[in-house]
Structure 1
Amino acid sequence: MSSPTPNDARWVPWRVAPASGFVVDDPTGRGEVDIAQIDERQFVVRNAFRFSHPDIEEYLVEQLIDRGTPEPQARRAVDAARTFVPREDNPTDLASIPRFLRWFENPYGRHSLAALIHDELITGTANSGALGSDTLSDRFFREMMRTSGVPWLKRWIMWSAVALRTRWVAGGWRRLSVAVWLLLSVAGISAAIGSTGALLFGWPWPTSSPAVSLVFSLLMIFVAAPLWGRQWAASLVAAVAALWLLPAAIVAYFAYALYLLSEKVARIVGLT
């Protein structure tokens, strides 16, 4: 793997997380990523950066070799995957965080450079990025967030979100498995909330034993996990996080929808 040398003064550690492994092509030596806003939602990155971490790079190479890729080709693929080359035709919204979830995480932060590289690896067609595997690209995203200092639970939640997208885009039985998992998750979360309310607050519940319903709903998390295949761990994280993320996200979604409606009414009555 090629990597910056001590004499290459242009490549300096990313100032946001100097020990992350990210190095930036910055002639000023400050380790800054130059980002310009080009419209209301899109930005362009003006300088190159790359991720340099021997252990993670070797892990990716080994994974590609195990998939049948010759070693020289695998090393070239990983070198391309870990490097972000700026182009005017690759605008970004940074991390694609829905507005109603930005109370949990912003589009920018310690995960920013990992998200930018991940976006380059995930294209409109499944498994067509530099690594030839969206699943492996998702794991690479998680590892880049780890070295950047993103807390354990947050990076695993973000990983489970991109893993869910990967299985959906793959289509076929993988998409069907996601649909079944979502149905089971909605049923399990509803049962968990309802039975907990029945136990703690006396909410009406259709069975005489809400405790049994609560245990059953929690067991559904593990029963449904195999529907994610090799990414079953992402299923567990997503299901547990959804127990508290989803209700808050629903409230935030409707609150934001109410704001948009208020703005529309303001325009109708001529307020500017």
Structure 2
Amino acid sequence: MNATTPSDARWVPWRVAPTSGFVVDDPTGMGDVEIAQTDERQFVVRNAFRFSDPAVEAYLVTQLVERGLTEAAARGAVDAARTFVPSDDNPTDLASIPRFLRWFENPYGLHSLAALIHDELITGTANSGALGSDTLSDRFFREMMRASGVPWLKRWIMWSAVALRTRWVAGGWRRLSVVVWLVLSVIGICTAVGSSGALLLDWTWPTSSPAISLVLSLLLIFIAAPLWGRQWAASLVAAVAALWILPAAIVAYFAYALYLLSEKVARTAGLT
């Protein structure tokens, strides 16, 4: 492992979002984050950076103290969590956004440094990062994006995506709750689309009152929200966003699959 601890770092505001609270160890004084591509998909960050926002830090410390840490230990955990120290054996793909969703957001942008820190906090084992809580790490991710200027709806959608992952990885009843929520979401989306079509486009609908079906499908969003526990707000955002993100994502997924198939056919035909 080749890690660099920024003991005498020259911290300057991040060039991309100077008022975000992110500062970079950049000897040139430009505030650039140096990233080297190591293979087709992976990159290595070459210089350290950290996030500073007194209100966010105080919130994290309070949460950790409530979970049983001493204030000194909580402060140490927060300091470790908000600081990115580069190492050659820790490559990154930047923000892990599937190809078929990159019409919505790229792997890089105003969220880049927040995503890199969040990736460091989310390890292979649940709740084993610097904050000791994947749920709290997800909340920290959202707050860093807010400070970086990521628009409200986009950062909440991205937060709901990582929150869904957190509940799934936790396993047990939390994973079961995700499965139940997904089933209810599919039912709700299908009902909302079908009843809306019946009201606006005179589609055939199995009940005599599509308006009631539409209201019930919208209420289902709130009924299913507690399945996400403390992150119930992420459930509401995910349910609403799914109405327009999911159809577009499905189209993009199959379009990309068709492209991959075309490339395979070209290789089989000997085209290079």
TM over 0.5: yes
Q: Measure, in 1, the Cα distance between the counterparts of 2:267 and 2:207.
A: 50
Which amino acid is the alignment partner of residue 95 of structure 2?
A
Structure 2: distance between partners of 1:266 and 1:193: 39
Structure 2: where are the runs of 5+ without partners? 1-5
**How far is the alpha carbon of 1:9 from its aligned partner?**
7.5
Match for residue 157 of structure 1? Answer: 157
Per the alignment, residue 142 of structure 2 pairs with: 142
Q: Which amino acid aligns with 1:26?
A: D
- 1:213-232 equivalence runs, <5 A: 213-232=213-232
- 2:100 is aligned with 1:89: no
* Deviates most, 208-217 or 177-186: 208-217
Contact map agreement 1:9 1:29 (CA 8 A) in 2: no
Moved over 6 A (4+): none
Counterpart in 2 of 1:176?
Answer: 176
Alignment partner, residue 186 of structure 2: 186
Q: Give the aligned residue type for 2:178.
A: V
- What SS class does the counterpart of residue 24 from structure 1 fall into? strand
Partner of 1:57: 57
How far, CA to CA, are the matches of 2:97 and 2:202 in structure 1?
37
> Which 5+ residue runs of structure 1 have no aligned equivalent?
none
**Whole-Å separation in 2 of the counterparts to 1:266 and 1:210:** 49
TM-score, length-normalised on structure 1? 0.96
The more displaced of 238-247 and 189-198 is 189-198
Alignment of 1:35-54 (within 5 A): 35-54=35-54
1:201 aligns with 2:201: yes
Partner of 1:243: 243
Whole-Å separation in 1 of the counterparts to 2:39 and 2:201:
49
Q: Which residue of 2 aligns with 1:130?
A: 130
1:179 Cα deviation from its structure 2 partner: 0.5
> 2:31: which partner in 1?
31
- Matched residues, number: 266
Q: Is the 8 A contact 1:51 1:83 kept in 2?
A: yes
2: CA distance between counterparts of 1:63 and 1:70? 11
